[in-house]
Chains A and B, each alone.
Chain A
Amino acid sequence: MPNIRYANMCHWKSIPYRQIPNFRDFYYEDNTNTAYYSDWDSILKYQAALGFTGIEIAPWDLADILPLFGSPEAFTAFAAERGVEVIGMFHGAHASHAADHFDEAVRSGCEAVDTIVKFGGTYMNTCPTQNYFGTGPLSREEVQNCARVMNEIGRYATDRGVKIGLHNEFFCAINLPNHRELIESTDPALVHYCIDTAQISILGEDLCTFYEDYHDRISTFHLKDTASANQPDSVRYAQDPEITDSGHRWFWEPGLGTLDLPGLYRLLKKHEFKGWMSVEYDGSPDLLASMALTRYHLDTVLRPIYD
């Protein structure tokens, strides 16, 4: 068993079919590649074939997935038949900085934990509160409010076998000035951290330094590259910066950006990291191509350092 297992953080947009029973006929309707991106059967097979044996689902997909499959358990069984296990789900802890939103933020987080348990997952990577624009800068008290919410959700999750991992985006109200303050304000026994390699680098953290400092808190990774590290406040605090007007991409496949991912892998080896790493392709025009490029880079550059 390797030390690192690889999953796919699901960024496929709505997949309308479970399985296409008339694949050839469907293809011939228009002779396009639509059939290849329209059913979970194919998507999960792509993952399995490329060695991504876990899937981290996105909460915004639930409204489509659940009616399509009938239940979380049915989706999990369908994925397992194709060699893929559900490892967890992302969660956004909206307004957790607001004291008067404590109960709602905890309730929502606990419901998400319950959903993950039904899928058989064990990770909930959690974005602490919303975007900086319209919310930041947060006061010290508001950061502590976030920490209290995370601790409470973390306690509920831990009791059910789920690890929650803080996951920071570069444009969140938790940002460079209070990023580490939040981590250190949470209970290490209950709240872990998911390093999104590109997001924290754009935020202004040095990837390898951050991992070295917090390696004992790290539960999982979202692995992706960027060529846009250390963005200024004017970008990170802007309104809706994630999707740019021009089509500029923040995120690239490992090896196509400028991050020191080999350096990270040397540290993973040093600290003997064991667990899941979710590869993430948000912003890619072709998720299947990105998955294959990532697999090549993993096998030829990163896994030879630490597997």
Chain B
Amino acid sequence: MPIQNFAISLDLVNRHYQEPNRNRYESRYFWEQLYPLIATSGFSAIEIPYEPVWQFGGRSGVPFNRYCVNTKYGDAAGYRAALAERGIARVTGITFDPNLFMRNANIDFFFGASGHFAGEALAHAADMGADYFAISPSPYYGRALHYHPDLEAQREAFTARTVSLLSGLAAKAQDLGVALVLRNEYWGLFRGEAILPLLAALPETVKLDVDTASLQIAGVAPADFIAANITRIGCVHLTDTAFVDNDETWKTANPEFPERRATQVFRDPGTGTVDLPGIAAQLASVGYAGPVTLSARQTRDPFRALLRTRALLNQLQN
């Protein structure tokens, strides 16, 4: 596997949660100073989370949706040129999760807004020349349960609407030449191996996105999952964790922040307990040639995380 082609996700910047100096993440200058640092760390490809929230309220300095990119760079081509000038040759993927739209008791609002913005994000992925569009098919289970206490009773209907939404996206993705992949975070309705029946209900063009830490937290061995589903894997996220979900944190309203015992769920790649070297070797041994993205989600220090991730890759190369 050509390790030099591995991408790193911009989710390593903590733009949503409070910490000193967080405000700089909302200005254009921060990102344009970051790109050369990413390149210097040995990454020439990035993944971008698609976040409509930055469109609301005019915070267009965060280049995470079409509105922001068009506001600051004219269009996707302008943004890609700005990235290239700073050493980033490619955007390999765009991710999208619908949590923002799980905010009231109106399920039609959730599916309507999620469908609208997911479609926009998919088109943006094509404009950015991305290989894949990774969508989380479910919001946080606990957040959905807060607004929809009858969620379990409605699971079948919720799943059917999810299939409908994803099927529409699958057709559009095929037209656009972007691979649609399903990311199965540990907090969703389709966590762990529950993603498989959902996948089976979708067109063959839809693939799996293996998120290693999420699988491990959900109690599924990533290596076994990869071995069992290799023909349907369209993307791999090498994420790390040391978290063990002993008390159903995944069902809580804010599952990335375990309420009974605070901890950093996602660790910088190489600092948790996921056997990332073993998984990389496994992928190479089975001839996997699809995208691989490293994610330092929740890192305490994005610049340290860049170097830690590079150190991990150097270890893989050796």
Contact = CB atoms under 8 A, between A and B. Distances in A.
Interface of A: 12-18, 20-23, 25-26, 29-30, 32-35, 37-39, 60, 62-64, 66-68, 70, 131, 171, 239-247, 283-287
A16 B20 contact: no
A39 B259 CA distance: 10
B61 A38 contact: no
Interface stretch (B128-136, B193-201, B249-257): B249-257
A15 B81 CA distance: 36
Q: Which of B23, B28, B29, B264 has the most CB of A within 10 A?
A: B23
A37 B29 contact: no
Interface string B4-38: 00000000000011111111101111100000000
12 contacts: A14-B16, A14-B18, A23-B262, A32-B301, A38-B17, A60-B57, A68-B253, A239-B71, A243-B58, A243-B59, A285-B21, A285-B24
Interface string B41-71: 0000000000000001111110000000001
A15 B27 contact: no
Q: Which of B59, B257, B260, B263 has the most C-beta atoms of chain A within 10 angstroms of its own C-beta?
A: B257
Contacts of B263: 26, 29
- Specify the main secondary structure of chain B where it touches its partner: loop
Nearest to B61: A243
B142 interface: yes
Interface in B164-188: none
Contacts of A13: 16-18, 22
The main secondary structure of chain A at its interface with chain B is loop
Given A68-B253, A245-B29, A285 B20 contact: yes
A245 B22 contact: no
A240 B20 contact: no
A247 B254 contact: no
Interface residues of B, number: 41
Contacts of B146: 66-67, 70
B23 A21 contact: no
B27 A246 contact: yes
Can you list the 9 inter-chain pairs with the closest CB atoms, starting with the nearest? Answer: A67-B253, A240-B58, A16-B257, A245-B28, A67-B146, A63-B103, A26-B262, A20-B262, A13-B18
Interface of B: 16-24, 26-30, 56-61, 71-72, 100, 102-103, 142-143, 146-147, 253-254, 256-257, 259-264, 300-301
A131 B254 CA distance: 32
Contact of A67 (B23, B61, B143, B264): B143
Contacts of A286: 20-21
Contacts of B30: 247
Given A17-B262, A243-B61, A33 B20 contact: yes
Contacts of A26: 262-263
Contacts of B60: 239-240, 243
A38 B23 contact: no
A18 B18 contact: no
Contact of A284 (B19, B23, B103, B253): B23
Nearest to A241: B58
Pick from A12, A29, A63, A171 the residue with the most CB of B within 10 Å.
A63
B29 A246 contact: yes
B29 A21 contact: no
A242 B20 contact: no
Contact of A16 (B28, B142, B256, B300): B256
A284 B24 CA distance: 9
Contact of B27 (A17, A66, A68, A247): A247
B149 to A, nearest CB: 11
A37 B24 contact: no
A35 B61 contact: no
A35 B23 contact: no
Contacts of A70: 146
B20 A37 contact: yes
Nearest to B102: A63
Contacts of A39: 262
A16 B260 CA distance: 12
A64 B17 CA distance: 11
A16 B17 contact: yes
A22 B18 contact: no
A34 B26 contact: no
B156 to A, nearest CB: 23
B17 A283 contact: no
A12 B22 CA distance: 10
Given A38-B262, A240-B58, A243-B58, A17 B257 contact: yes
B310 to A, nearest CB: 19
Given A16-B256, A240-B71, A242-B58, A37 B26 contact: no
A67 B254 contact: yes
A34 B53 CA distance: 23
Contacts of A246: 27-29
Contact of A29 (B71, B259, B264): B264
Contacts of A247: 24, 27, 29-30
A76 B143 CA distance: 20
A91 to B, nearest CB: 13
A129 B26 CA distance: 23
Contacts of A284: 23
Contacts of A67: 142-143, 146-147, 253-254
Contacts of B56: 60
